[in-house]
Chain A
Amino acid sequence: MIAFDRVTVVYPGAFAPALENVSLTIDEGHLALVIGATGSGKSTLLRCVNGLVPHFSGGRLTGAVTVDGRSTERYRPRDLADAVGYVGQDPDATFVADTVEDELAYAMENLGVDPATMRRRVEDVLDTLNLHALRQRAITTLSGGQRQRVAIGAAFTAAPRTLVLDEPTSSLDPVSAEEVLASLARLVHDQGTTILVAEHRLERIVQFADVVVEIGSAQGAVRSGTPAFIFATAELAPPVVRLSRAAGWSPVPLSVRDARRLAPELRRRLERGARPQDAESRGDRVAQVKGLVAAYGPIPALADVSLELYEGQVMAIMGRNGAGKSTLLHHLVGLRRPQRGAVEVLGRVPATLGASEAVRLVGLVPQDPGALLCAETVAGECRDADRDAGLADGTTRAVLESIVADIPDDRHPKDLSEGQRLALALAIVLAPAPPILLLDEPTRGLDYRAKERLSHLLRQLAARGHCVVVATHDVELVAEVADRVVVLADGEVITDGPTRSVVCHSAGLASQVARILAPAEWLTVEEVAAALNGRVFREGAPS
């Protein structure tokens, strides 16, 4: 269905090709998962399929990409609209119409499909993607998961036989992500659609994949095969695979269900060893939220939230899209004033402080770390940060060195990888040494290795006495770094407790390891591996 024949892509002005000598074929009716480190060329590969590369992006493509027998050399993206549906990374930036139905019909209107067929197909897609209750809704009123499904539907109504999706679940909470992936699985099973999807959070999607395409770190090292074959050796692997490597299972199970069949034996082995220990100690209280109420116009965002933050503790805030996580962080950092209730950080009210004073108390890395960056070069960025916060020259650069050592001074922030950009934003926020560090959804777009480095850094910061608060959907990150989990729903605190008890006893928030080994309370692969080697795993201990 999709064939790449010795494809090399060079973007204009780039030093190295984004893809080099890639050859692969995807058969009809398969769900193919593209994996690879950030910046390895996953998006480029996907955009080649319908000709957005090179027709839209510029640059030079050698070799041939054919889809459904048509070569992208001769057909432009718009001419392939009936063969390939494409869903980009940020669905919000792609909507044309204002209601769900009109958005779904847009592609068909362009193709000149006759009205009767159009009605039928819209109806089909509304059913397949479970959108029928939302048909007349304005898109702006939908939740993140619903919007993602509308974007998929809008690409799918033109009845393409191939669907290409770039990180469709990266901004979704676990439940919405499952809904979206289940819809994709239905398209593959019921309609024989060929799907090519790139995703970082492999734990969510591996079980649906028929084929895995791995883009290695070495240029041109693209290989594809069955999931079991690729994950037997792949560098980036979901927790279930790493657990089975630690436990010595073969063949490697790919879903929680398969792994649970093998779990009883592992549980017995683990019972003999030592239990993982959670850090009990916590420092002084550094911040307090009392009876906080917030609303956006008539829409309540936080209803009577009370919390206390302690130094040396990593706290995770979880909850659905729109549960009020970001709003809570914005209050803590003083971007918003409470409507009712009080926010106090080290005895002061953040919303009343001047900007340069506030950043010394509490720092926030926003959802899109790139928003913090506005200089032309990394060095300029660091210089500006020193000046903004009134620090000695070179402070920010030194902090950046301690996080990631090898970022060149003259690089434009936009040319950094996702992980490097996050490191730079973190350095800017950490340079004034705020005792409280807040991160909003920090793992979006990070591969497993970058995520590991981030968890390690956060644990180090906590060990040095910082209070770290992470708002996230990423249950695996929570299992790895958090001491304490707060769950918000519709602006209320539902749960507030130690990570192990919250994560192991929740259906939606459990990590893969917790699901596999339930009812035993294990959180991460590292814990299990340490126990199997006869050691006691301690969070934050140097490994």
Chain B
Amino acid sequence: MLRTRLQPLHPIAWWCWAGTLAVAASRTTNPLLLGLILAVVAWVVTTRRGNSPWARSFGALIRLGLFVIAIRVVVQVLFGDRVPGTTWFSLPSVPLPSWAAGVTIGGPVTAQAAIGAFCQGLQIAVILACFGAANSLASSFRLLRCVPAGLYEVAVAVTVAITFTPQIVLSIARVRDARRLRGRATSGWKGWRGLAVPVLDGALERSVALAASMDARGFGRRPASPRHRQATAAATLAGLVGLGIGLFQVLDSGSASGIGLAVILVGGGLVIGGLVASSHGSRSRYRPDRWLVAEWLVVAAGLAAVAGVVATGSNDPNALAQPLYPLGLPASPVVALASILLAAVPSAIAPVPVPVRAKLSEALA
């Protein structure tokens, strides 16, 4: 089947791709590899994101990542374990009573401690960036549309919750403006007090209007017979109970017993069957997302990166870490680097989002 011009990449493909890169990042503290993963992710995001509001979440998560690195380094320098090595400078140390063993304040700061902390912070930052990339590239609304019809109501509730967050922010700004216009303080504790009621009031009014609009457009209509609905709901519930019991048994005994596995299999089958059957005949999809060649390739690109990193790790575990004793430049494992570069392939094969530039004046309205 061919892709139409307007069909974006399947959201699950983007999440798989970003997820595999996050897994690759979680396997290494080598700043060279981490930097390359970050570069690849950033490149794909800049070339393949649309202009929807969530497309900006990448930038926000990058900022969050920088914050994490800074916190990680500062905490290490002030309170961290005193790691031996090349001392850069010393902070005055505070002696603590014996019951606070393991906690130190101040003391000598070594290059090993600072660089090690930076690399760990960078690892978290890169994982956050992968999450931000998935958010930027795939609309959460489209992702939620992939859930089976049995969970449709839940999915809509989640969508509405997602769209509400930015509205609450706007609403807070509006209420603060209104207070300023009345001559009330807007800063400090006084400014924040009494904000909650009008903001929640506004949010409530909006949700009632939204609910009316959804109801008027047929939300919650059930053409399927009530008996069919009850049957699928009962199957799903029974399956979930079975899954729970089976998992408990397997985890409790620590080994996969035959009965436990069987219960898990039957329970899982019932859940899937119930959810699929619940979609039958009740609702239709406009332009359902399809899984085509490009989706497979994007997922494969992400898997290649993980495979490369894991293979390098099993050959030479040191190549994945930042060398600290002695302090040195990070290794440059060719296989891992090449496989991460391969993960940039989506920037060429994923469909380009339709150029949708808002006119400046329109974006303001």
On whether the two chains bind one another, the answer is yes
Q: Tell me the A residues contacting B by CB distance below 8 Å.
A: 50, 52, 56, 76-79, 81-82, 84-86, 88, 90, 93-99, 101-102, 105-115, 118-119, 122, 135-138, 140-144, 146-147, 154-155, 158, 296, 299-301, 320-324, 330, 333-335, 354-356, 358-359, 363-364, 366, 371-372, 374, 384-385, 388-390, 428-429, 432, 490-491
B160 within 8 Å of A (CB atoms): yes
Complex CA distance for A99 and B288, rounded to whole angstroms: 14
In the assembled complex, which residues on chain A have CB atoms less than 8 Å from the CB atom of B353? 136
B347 within 8 Å of A (CB atoms): no
Complex CA distance for A24 and B197, rounded to whole angstroms: 41
Asked if B182 and A388 make an inter-chain contact with CB atoms under 8 angstroms apart, the answer reads yes
In the assembled complex, which residues on chain A have CB atoms less than 8 Å from the CB atom of B179? 355
Interface hit among B86-94, B104-112, B113-121, B355-363: B355-363
Asked if A82 and B361 make an inter-chain contact with CB atoms under 8 angstroms apart, the answer reads no
Q: With A78-B219, A355-B185, A388-B182 as given contacts, are A138 and B53 in contact (CB-CB < 8 Å)?
A: yes
Asked if A50 and B216 make an inter-chain contact with CB atoms under 8 angstroms apart, the answer reads yes
Complex CA distance for A85 and B215, rounded to whole angstroms: 11
In the assembled complex, which residues on chain B have CB atoms less than 8 Å from the CB atom of A50? 216
Asked if A96 and B156 make an inter-chain contact with CB atoms under 8 angstroms apart, the answer reads yes
Asked if A93 and B177 make an inter-chain contact with CB atoms under 8 angstroms apart, the answer reads no
Asked if B213 and A138 make an inter-chain contact with CB atoms under 8 angstroms apart, the answer reads no
CB distance from A345 to the nearest CB of B (A): 14
Asked if B221 and A111 make an inter-chain contact with CB atoms under 8 angstroms apart, the answer reads yes
Q: Who on chain A is nearest to B184 by CB?
A: A388
Q: Who on chain A is nearest to B216 by CB?
A: A86
Asked if A99 and B360 make an inter-chain contact with CB atoms under 8 angstroms apart, the answer reads no
Complex CA distance for A335 and B174, rounded to whole angstroms: 11
Q: With A98-B139, A141-B51, A388-B183 as given contacts, are A88 and B213 in contact (CB-CB < 8 Å)?
A: yes
Apart from A106-B217, A138-B50, list 7 A-B contacts with CB within 8 A.
Answer: A84-B216, A94-B212, A110-B221, A135-B6, A359-B182, A388-B182, A490-B360
The 8 A CB mask of B137-175 against A (1 = contact, 0 = none) is 001010000000000000010011001000000000011
Q: Who on chain B is nearest to A79 by CB?
A: B221
Asked if B183 and A122 make an inter-chain contact with CB atoms under 8 angstroms apart, the answer reads no
Interface hit among B10-18, B235-243, B276-284, B324-332: B276-284
Q: Who on chain B is nearest to A94 by CB?
A: B213
Pull 27 A–B residue pairs with CB atoms less than 8 Å apart, ordered by A. A56-B211, A81-B216, A84-B216, A85-B217, A88-B213, A93-B209, A94-B213, A95-B163, A96-B159, A96-B210, A96-B214, A98-B52, A98-B139, A101-B287, A109-B283, A112-B223, A114-B284, A118-B284, A122-B286, A138-B50, A147-B365, A296-B364, A324-B364, A355-B185, A363-B181, A371-B178, A371-B198
CB distance from A113 to the nearest CB of B (A): 6
Partner of B356, one of A78, A137, A323: A137
CB distance from B95 to the nearest CB of A (A): 47
Asked if B360 and A52 make an inter-chain contact with CB atoms under 8 angstroms apart, the answer reads no
Partner of A374, one of B194, B223, B354: B194
Count residues on chain B whose CB falls below 8 Å from chain A CBs: 60
Asked if A81 and B221 make an inter-chain contact with CB atoms under 8 angstroms apart, the answer reads yes
Q: With A96-B156, A299-B363, A322-B364 as given contacts, are A333 and B52 in contact (CB-CB < 8 Å)?
A: no
In the assembled complex, which residues on chain A have CB atoms less than 8 Å from the CB atom of B180? 334-335, 355, 358
Asked if B185 and A142 make an inter-chain contact with CB atoms under 8 angstroms apart, the answer reads no
Asked if A118 and B286 make an inter-chain contact with CB atoms under 8 angstroms apart, the answer reads yes
Complex CA distance for A50 and B217, rounded to whole angstroms: 10
In the assembled complex, which residues on chain A have CB atoms less than 8 Å from the CB atom of B211? 56
In the assembled complex, which residues on chain B have CB atoms less than 8 Å from the CB atom of A390? 183
B285 within 8 Å of A (CB atoms): yes
Complex CA distance for A334 and B213, rounded to whole angstroms: 37
Complex CA distance for A115 and B139, rounded to whole angstroms: 21
Asked if B362 and A146 make an inter-chain contact with CB atoms under 8 angstroms apart, the answer reads yes
Asked if B183 and A432 make an inter-chain contact with CB atoms under 8 angstroms apart, the answer reads yes
Asked if A321 and B365 make an inter-chain contact with CB atoms under 8 angstroms apart, the answer reads yes
In the assembled complex, which residues on chain A have CB atoms less than 8 Å from the CB atom of B139? 98-99
In the assembled complex, which residues on chain B have CB atoms less than 8 Å from the CB atom of A111? 218, 221
Complex CA distance for A375 and B177, rounded to whole angstroms: 16
B186 within 8 Å of A (CB atoms): yes
Complex CA distance for A135 and B52, rounded to whole angstroms: 13
In the assembled complex, which residues on chain A have CB atoms less than 8 Å from the CB atom of B50? 138
In the assembled complex, which residues on chain A have CB atoms less than 8 Å from the CB atom of B358? 137, 141-142
Asked if B216 and A77 make an inter-chain contact with CB atoms under 8 angstroms apart, the answer reads yes
Partner of B183, one of A86, A94, A355: A355
Complex CA distance for A140 and B159, rounded to whole angstroms: 15
Asked if A82 and B213 make an inter-chain contact with CB atoms under 8 angstroms apart, the answer reads no
B220 within 8 Å of A (CB atoms): yes
Q: Which of B288-325 contact A (CB under 8 A)?
A: 288
CB distance from A142 to the nearest CB of B (A): 6
In the assembled complex, which residues on chain B have CB atoms less than 8 Å from the CB atom of A81? 216-218, 221
Asked if B217 and A110 make an inter-chain contact with CB atoms under 8 angstroms apart, the answer reads yes
Complex CA distance for A74 and B307, rounded to whole angstroms: 61
In the assembled complex, which residues on chain B have CB atoms less than 8 Å from the CB atom of A101? 286-287
